[in-house]
Amino acid sequence: MAKKKKNTTARPQLGDDVEILSAGEVLETPITRTLESNYMPYAMSVIVSRALPEIDGFKPAHRKLLYTMYQMGLLKGARTKSANIVGSTMHLNPHGDAAIYETMVRMGRGNESLLVPYVDSKGNFGKAYSRDMAYAASRYTEARLEPVCAELFGDIDKDTVDFVPNYDATTTEPTLLPVTFPTILANNTLGIAVGMASNICSFNLTQLCATTAALIKDPDHDILSTLPAPDFVGGGSVLYNEEEMKKIINTGRGSVRVRARWEYVKEGNMIEITQIPPTTTVEAIMDKISELVKAGRVREISDMRDETDLNGLKLTLDLKRGQDPDKLMAKLLRATPLEDSFSCNFNILVGGSPRVMGVREILNEWTAFRMECVRRRTWHELQGKEKRLHLLEGLAAILLDIDKAIRIVRETEEEAEVVPNLMIGFGIDEAQAEYVAEIKLRHLNREYILKRTAEIDQLRQEIEKLKAILNSPARIRRIIVSELEAVAKKYGQPRRSQILYEEPAAAEDEEADAMPDYPVNVFFTREGYFKKITPQSLRMSGEQKLKEGDEVVYHAETKNDVHMLFFTNHQQVYKCRAGDFEDSKASVLGEYIPARLGMEEGEQPIYLVLTQDYSGHMLFVYESGKCAKIPLEGYATKTNRKKLVNAFSAKEPLAAILDLPAEEELAIQTSAGRLLLVHSAQIPAKQTKTTQGVAVVTLKKNQSIRRVRRACAMELANPHRYRVRTLPAAGALLRSEDLAEQTTLGE
């Protein structure tokens, strides 16, 4: 059979023998080259051209959209369909219609995302404070620019900013907008780039303009005196923290705590929440409250309703009879997003480079940007007036002898020679002669001549004024201040977020978080099941119901508000309180702790500790003979964290865990049949939870710790035989009478 000819040019078919050049070769490329050629251009594009706002307060997507609406005449005209705006914006923004429309929705007044909205919306634009209230499609809604946008585009046709070609070079777009007030701090902005992010809070427009003007007049102005705290579109109460505000003013980083606003309606025995923090939604708050009610941590609420309508946000909580609304709200503010923190990160592009700046530095940069805009506007106006003056001066020369000008025109045989002849006859340049030649015959009267002459004098005065502005930075700053005052007067609004200078006492917070205090019995099984039973129910119950093969390894009489720490085989500890669990009965299996506390796959609780004040120590004994004694207070946290990692060392297998409310004697048994009694006071405490501690038992090769118990639970014939004075120690061999004790206890 003839061998089939290899075909390396035609498209291979199924079953053909194909020769692939360089097949099997591995080309090694340095990762630095890959990063430089592939990753860095992408990262820079996201940082510079997408995610971070510039000094004019806008990201490229926002700027392209607003400029398109301005070009469509939507600043003073009637509204148009949002779909028209989205389609026109695609000439500047090469993204899909959904992304462009979502950008416009967020800038709309109806969405309530911005303190100073830029889009006058009509129709359903959704709500920023609602997760489920979606906006309508672009074919249903209408929009135009808000009147405040006149402050964004007022000087854009006077060469105040640079223009660049769009993505396909069919038109041009501005690189920045010549805003007359610091929009960068007037609205909140969130941007996530590559390796960096930006999160800017909004400030009240009136206070912001006043602060900027004061800084222009006095660079050492105390900003907090005129700009005390952020102002959010959703209102709420800002918990004033002077140190944090100074940090934000100076560094651009920090956090602002915002609390919901509410009122108690006595007639209906209900609480109405009307303003919430900007970082959450109504649905998130309702979900958290429902979770607390189901867990039994909130028992004062009988019903909850979202009554948000055209009048605005309203979340209603119906209270049970006799409940204190202040204590309930104090509890909810601590346990739900009704009080949340807004983390500030003022990362802004200045000259194409990202910079994290404080409020003072941002306003100084904006002032420098605005001064350049005013200078360029003044230069543009000066050029126009000088050109106009130059033409009128040529006209004035002609008007001295109109008859001569008419004679020159009439006696010129060719039209192309009219302008050169006028230039020769009156000693004027080509531009002046061209202007004169275009004057209508009806304008050669006394009134026209006098008006033009008067205009020459006025132009000369205006030119001198413009030159004085260009030569005086102080005059430019005064112009900016006057513009800021005009903006504040025309568009300023009262603060929406009130400022709370005094927080409630901490004792009230503790009381609000208090759980019902009554006696309970807790049961914890080897398989990880937990039950909490009241004494009355326990007396009326029979035998404990357990899973086949399971047994109770921990039983204690305690209080409902006790803190519980579940240590797991993944070296983690999960914290909760007994009151987080519903009262149970002996006839049920109980709650499965790994599922209830959201443990990781394969993670199991191995030890339970009950505590009220986190006093005492935890003892971790490892098979190698080392022992770590950790203060229990090391597991207490000021925040309500439910999970702590690295609860103990994972470097060696664990032999036993014990909690020591007080110092006591311990019995340690080894695989070599030895026993030693060690007082816990002999073991030094360590603050680092992941430490292996100190060597307590001396072990030979292949020996390990088998069992650790409390010595008080043992009956030894001669306990002094096993006590040790110094550590580490090997212990003593178990005698026959004590060996029987060990066997009994082990059964």
Give just the sign of the alpha carbon dihedral 603, 608, 610, 613: negative
Distances (CA, A) of 592 to 271, 346, 526, 550, 562: 36, 46, 11, 13, 19
Q: Which helix (H) or strand (E) covers residue 736, if one does?
A: helix 736-746
Which structure tokens are listed for 286?
Answer: 């309702």
Distances (CA, A) of 274 to 108, 130, 261, 316: 21, 13, 6, 9
Residue 323 CA to residue 326 CA, distance in Å, equals: 9
Distances (CA, A) of 339 to 122, 198, 285, 299, 344: 32, 22, 10, 20, 16
Which structure tokens are listed for 510?
Answer: 């503790």
Is there a contact between 394 and 435 (Cβ–Cβ < 8 Å)?
Answer: yes
Task: Describe the crossing of helices 473-491 and 205-217 by its angle, rounded to 10 degrees.
Answer: 160
Which structure tokens are listed for 214?
Answer: 């004061």
Going by C-alpha positions, the residue among 715, 720, 708, 713 that lies closest to residue 738 is 715
Is there a contact between 600 and 542 (Cβ–Cβ < 8 Å)?
Answer: no
Cβ neighbors of 607 (< 8 A, separation 6 or more) are: 566, 567, 657, 659
| Rg of the chain over all Cα atoms, to the nearest angstrom | 40
Question: Which pairing describes strands 253-259 and 237-239: parallel, antiparallel, or unpaired?
Answer: antiparallel
Residue 223 CA to residue 214 CA, distance in Å, equals: 9
Please indicate whether residue 140 is annotated as part of the active site. Answer: yes
SS (HEC) of 40-64: HHHHHHHHHHHHCCECCCCCHHHHH
Q: Could you tell me which residues are beta bridge partners of residue 262? A: 273
Residue 583 CA to residue 597 CA, distance in Å, equals: 17
Strand runs labelled E in 36-174: 80-81, 119-122, 142-145, 163-165, 172-174
SS (HEC) of 462-482: HHHHHHHHHCCHHHHHHHHHH
Residue 552 CA to residue 238 CA, distance in Å, equals: 50
Question: Which pairing describes strands 643-644 and 626-631: parallel, antiparallel, or unpaired?
Answer: unpaired
Burial code (b: 16+ CB inside 10 Å, e: under 16) for 565-582 equals bbbbebbbbbbbbbbbbe
Which structure tokens are listed for 233?
Answer: 């579109």
Amino acid letter at 293? V
The residue annotated as part of the active site, out of 67, 129, 135, 140, is: 140
User: Order of strands, edge to edge, in the sheet holding 591-592?
Assistant: 552-559, 519-525, 529-533, 591-592
Q: What amino acid positions are annotated as catalytic residues?
A: 140
